[in-house]
Amino acid sequence: MSNLGPGAATQVANAAKADATRRQGEASHPQSSAWVSANAGSGKTHVLAQRVIRLLLSGTPPGRILCLTYTKAAAANMANRVLDILGRWVGLSDAALNAELARIDDRPPNGDLRARARRLFAAALETPGGLKIQTIHAFCGGLLHRFPFEAGVAAGFSELDDAGRLDLMARIRAELIVEATGTPAGRLGQALAALIETLSDAGVDALLEAAVDARALIEPLGGDADARRAAVARVLGVAPEETPERVRRDMLASPHLVRSEWASIAACLREGAKTDQALGEQLALAAVASSEAEALPAYLGVFLTDKYEPRAASRFLTKGLRGLYPELCDRLDAEKERIIGLLDRLRAAETLARTDAALTLGAEACRRYAREKAQRGLLDFDDLIGRTAELLNRVPASWVHFKLDRGIDHVLVDEAQDTSPEQWKVVEGLIADFFSGEGAREGLTRTLFVVGDEKQSIFSFQGADPRTFGDMHARFAGAAGPKDFRNVRLPHSFRSAPGVLEAVDRIFA
């Protein structure tokens, strides 16, 4: 390190920053589509804001730019970044504005450009026709409100927001539980009873919540409870009529060790060594049990450990005992094998019972949720996305763009790692003719710009998957074909603490 002189760490850092800024400039070039995958703090939102501004400076009407993201916070962040800069420009001196313009754009600033730059703030805020920076849900809601007939939604529908959904779920949950506990012999009552053994009240709440979240998977299973159970049984490889009770009964009904012989067999085991004696104790306990429920754990204890794992061969029947009672020991070995086989069946039967119960309650919660929404003309967030994706993929993109004021020519997506596959369908629908056909008219550049951090997906529960991000990149790059579609990485973090660099420099000063 002796070749590092005073301030060297800062110099190295400045060089890295300069390189990062150059890459950012490449990514924000408004004539080329681009895909940016980079860590938090590398300046992705910064680049997006710069790109919007460069588009505006180059004469793109604000209304033709659409910025989308998943959360309201991220949408507000995008809007603030753009408007902060444009707002500041309004009051800058010519010299100061020239310096800013030179930093952001590669054209030499002149009077025309400065005049345009100063008008952008007002133009961006204009409605209609202003800049669209929205959550993807808000965009979809707006689109559906404009074309309810084409989208097949109730005209004047309301959006079910998070608070509304919480209310609705609380009511559905309360009604379901009152009904289930009121009719314990009914399907709902039995389902709740089956779950309450292993789930707390909070667990039941979470289950209903998860079911409504997963309604796209649950609803297609249909309303027929028997068919649903049969489908689960098929996956588990058990008969649909299988129950844990049946398997437990079979466990106690051994063809090898008839129950009336248990006491005498226990006596034989007690003649052996210590480990044999312990098995004898278990069997004796089972023999005197006053109920099946009491007998079963004792009986299983002969063959299985406390953890319900098969006893090791070395801990099951000693050589001495095998010499003494060879035929009995063979029967005990055979019984052990039979019990091990039944244990798998028991686990499958328990899984079937619990899954069936969970699906019974879950499907009912989904049914009521859908009914409430239909009755009250509500669309939830998933509906907004799903209906829009469906609309965009049914009608030609040119039709939608024709109907959307003057159309959208530039789509920018921030925090794209949080975009779910359904949401990607919306983006795909919007840009369907950006690169080909009528939409890619002579002289008009239409671009897609996506920034995200594949390592940072916080919404895996809503269907976003780090792999989706990479897959979508490949798809869009493929759709762009020979059109310029830049793949940019931003390896530098602008958030790394400058204090550390200063400390390094002080040491070498």
Ligand X SMILES: Nc1ncnc2c1ncn2[C@@H]1O[C@H](COP(=O)(O)OP(=O)(O)O)[C@@H](O)[C@H]1O
Please identify, using beta-carbon distances, which residue of 10 and 77 lies nearer to Mg ion. Answer: 77
In whole angstroms, how close is the CB of 198 to ligand X at the nearest point?
42
Identify which range of 37-45, 107-115, 294-302, 371-379 contacts ligand X by CB under 6 A: 37-45
DSSP per-residue string spanning 3-39: T--TTHHHHHHHHHHHHHHHHHHHHT-TTSEEEEE--
Long-range contacts of 352-356 (CB under 8 A, 24+ apart): 352/229, 352/232, 352/233, 352/236, 352/238, 352/242, 353/194, 353/243, 353/244, 354/194, 354/195, 354/198, 355/232, 355/236, 356/191, 356/194, 356/228, 356/229, 356/232
- Residue showing the smallest CB distance to Mg ion in the complex: 45
Residue choice 23, 29, 44, 215 for contact with ligand X (CB under 6 A) = 44
User: b/e string for 401-417 if b means 16 or more Cβ within 10 A?
Assistant: beebeebbbbbbbbbbb
Please tell me whether residue 45 binds Mg ion under the rule CB under 5 A: yes
In the complex, the smallest distance separating the C-beta of residue 414 from Mg ion, rounded to whole angstroms, is 6
In degrees, rounded to 5, the angle at the alpha carbon of residue 184 between the alpha carbons of residues 181 and 190 is 105
Q: How far is the CB of 506 from Mg ion (least distance, A)?
A: 32
**At its nearest, how many Å lie between Mg ion and the CB of residue 340?**
55
Name the residue among 97, 106, 24, 49 with its Cα closest to residue 494.
24
- Least Å distance, CB 16 to ligand X, is 11
The entry of ligand X, Mg ion, none near residue 51 (CB within 5 to 8 angstroms by kind) is none
Whichever of 40 and 258 has its CB closer to ligand X, that residue is: 40
Residue 495 beta carbon to ligand X: minimum distance, rounded to whole angstroms: 6
Size of the site for ligand X (CB under 6 A): 12
End-to-end CA separation in angstroms for the chain: 13
**Least Cβ distance, residue 414 to ligand X (angstroms):** 7
Q: Where are the alpha helices (DSSP H) in 199-325?
A: 201-213, 215-218, 225-236, 244-252, 262-269, 274-288, 292-303, 319-324
**How many residues are present in the chain?**
509
User: Which entry of Mg ion, ligand X, none binds 492, CB below 5 to 8 A by partner kind?
Assistant: none
Query: Is 410 a residue that touches ligand X (CB under 6 A)?
Result: no
CA distance 330 to 25: 80
Q: Binding to ligand X (CB under 6 A): which residues in 486-505?
A: 494-495
Whose Cβ is closer to Mg ion: residue 45's or residue 134's?
45
Burial of 444 (0-12, 13-18, 19+ CB in 10 A): exposed
List the structure tokens of 162: 């998070």
Q: Which does 399 bind (CB under 5 to 8 A by kind): Mg ion, ligand X, none?
A: none
**Residue 67 or 431 having the CB closest to Mg ion:** 67
Q: Interface with ligand X includes 40 (CB under 6 A)?
A: yes
CB closer to Mg ion out of 58 and 77: 77
Contact of 81 with 49, CB cutoff 8 Å = yes
Per-residue mark of binding to ligand X, 14-33 (x: CB under 6 A): -------x--x---------
Q: Which does 41 bind (CB under 5 to 8 A by kind): ligand X, Mg ion, none?
A: ligand X
Interface residue list for Mg ion (CB under 5 A): 44-45
Q: Which residues bind ligand X (CB under 6 A)?
A: 21, 24, 38, 40-46, 494-495
